[in-house]
Amino acid sequence: TTGKSIFCKAAVAWEAGKDLSIEDIEVLPPRAHEVRIKIAYTGVCHTDAYTLSGSDPEGAFPVVLGHEGAGIVESVGEGVTSVQVGDTVVALYTPECRECKFCKSGKTNLCGKIRATQGKGVMPDGTSRLRCKGQDLLHFMGCSTFSQYTVVADISVVAVDPKAPMDRTCLLGCGITTGYGAATITAKIFEGDNIAVFGAGCVGLSVVQGAVEKKAGKIIVVDINNDKKEWAEKFGGTDFVNPTELPEGITIVDKLIELTDGGCDYTFDCTGNVNVMRDALEACHKGWGESIVIGVAAAGKEISTRPFQLVTGRVWKGCAFGGVKGRSQLPGLVGDYMKGSLKVDQFITHRRPLEDINKAFHDMHAGDCIRCVVDM
């Protein structure tokens, strides 16, 4: 195709640890098997803050962050058949090519086709479509939704119901799908199973929503912020524990084992803190309890436990994007939202225009924000 560059606003991260700056950028036309999207709304996920902070070993700058976005297809490159101009879409940081070893395995939602270039912040051909002040900007997680226009690989985008409001469906691009999928796809929760969720942000509360759907027994939410108690209850949590307020000598592991008569069937880390991950594993029931790592830990951090924990049947695993295959399964989740069986609106606590995107990061750190939706 012979498309032209588009000039628009984007929030650029010039270097780690600094606020984003709103810039006029050039978005080049999509090449073969690429799609240019007019982003309407984007969420801000904890992972954006993590990479901006400099903690991400893959983090590189200057970059356009953002990976929780919904918009409209503006143009497509040669060979694109999966979406058309005008489609209402959600960007996918976990692509789905349907032909690589991962996609064909039936065992994972991870796709290997473009992971190497995605991790380097470039398109699959090794170049960038984003430019500012005479230099290339890096892409982020194959999405870069903090821009009014972005270019993604055709396997990194899915068309959804055009009637679904994009200020809600953007959140299905990461936070909600990640937690809900972890509970309903990655974990095999049976009716009555006891579960514990560490960290009641958008991801943790979405695990709660999924556990309710699976008719879990106790759904224990663990958070160091007491304001999350009300949120946990709102989504169907049955118990709330603040680990910093336990009596002297009682650990969070002791407390969870006591509450569940021996340990949880499933636990979920939604904090990214490696000490919490250990507690989450050790709070699992002997013989079968499984702990699922969702949180993303800083460069250099490692998890540890006594191998005896695994010898005695506890299982440590993790997932990205909840184990959800984006192109195959996201339209169904949007459908569930439209039918009223999947909560999305309730996660939106803040809204900001693009000019105030830095405030969305501050909202996240202030502790009273589940998700801030940015109007592009």
Interface residue list for Zn ion (CB under 5 A): 45, 47, 174
Q: CA nearest 30: which of 121, 95, 127?
A: 127
Q: From the list Zn ion, ligand NAD, ligand AHE, none, pick the one residue 314 interacts with, judged by a Cβ distance below 5 to 8 Å according to partner type.
A: none
Judged by beta carbon, residue 39 or residue 203, the one nearer ligand NAD is 203
Task: Kindly give the interhelix angle for 228-235 and 202-213, rounded to the nearest 10 degrees.
Answer: 30
Secondary structure of the chain: what % helix, strand, coil (to 5)? Answer: 30, 25, 45
How far is Cα 88 from Cα 130, in angstroms, rounded to an integer? 22
Residue among 8, 34, 42, 47 flagged as catalytic:
47
How far is Cα 51 from Cα 214, in angstroms, rounded to an integer? 33
> Which residue is closest to ligand NAD by CB?
201
Residue among 98, 108, 115, 117 flagged as catalytic:
115
Residue 5 C-beta: closest distance to ligand AHE, Å: 29
Query: Mask of contacts with ligand NAD, 175-194, x by CB under 6 A?
Result: x--x----------------
How far is Cα 196 from Cα 122, in angstroms, rounded to an integer? 38
- Taking CA atoms, 99 is separated from 77, 89, 125, 190, 327, in Å, by 20, 22, 18, 32, 13
Q: From the list Zn ion, ligand NAD, ligand AHE, none, pick the one residue 349 interacts with, judged by a Cβ distance below 5 to 8 Å according to partner type.
A: none
The answer to whether residue 174 forms part of the interface with ligand AHE (CB under 6 A) is yes
45, 153, 202, 330: which one contacts ligand AHE (CB under 6 A)?
45
Residue among 31, 51, 68, 177 flagged as catalytic:
68
How far is Cα 330 from Cα 91, in angstroms, rounded to an integer? 10
103 catalytic residue (yes or no): yes
Q: From the list ligand NAD, Zn ion, ligand AHE, none, pick the one residue 58 interacts with, judged by a Cβ distance below 5 to 8 Å according to partner type.
A: ligand AHE
Beta partners for residue 7, in sequence order: 26
The answer to whether residue 57 forms part of the interface with ligand AHE (CB under 6 A) is yes
Instruction: Write down the residue that tokens 């990461």 correspond to.
Output: 174
174 catalytic residue (yes or no): yes
Residue 204 C-beta: closest distance to ligand NAD, Å: 6
47 catalytic residue (yes or no): yes
CB 321 within 8 A of CB 93: yes
Residue among 1, 23, 26, 97 flagged as catalytic:
97
How far is Cα 20 from Cα 52, in angstroms, rounded to an integer? 9
The answer to whether residue 222 forms part of the interface with ligand NAD (CB under 6 A) is yes
Residue 133 C-beta: closest distance to ligand NAD, Å: 30
Judged by beta carbon, residue 198 or residue 337, the one nearer ligand NAD is 198
Judged by beta carbon, residue 9 or residue 115, the one nearer ligand AHE is 115
In DSSP notation, 57-125 reads TT--SSB-----EEEEEEEE-TT--S--TT-EEEE-SS---SSSHHHHHSS-S---TTHHHHHHTS-TT
Residues forming contacts to ligand AHE in the complex (CB under 6 A) are: 45, 47, 56-58, 93-94, 110, 115, 174, 296, 320-321
Supply the residues annotated as catalytic.
45-47, 67-68, 97, 100, 103, 111, 115, 174, 371
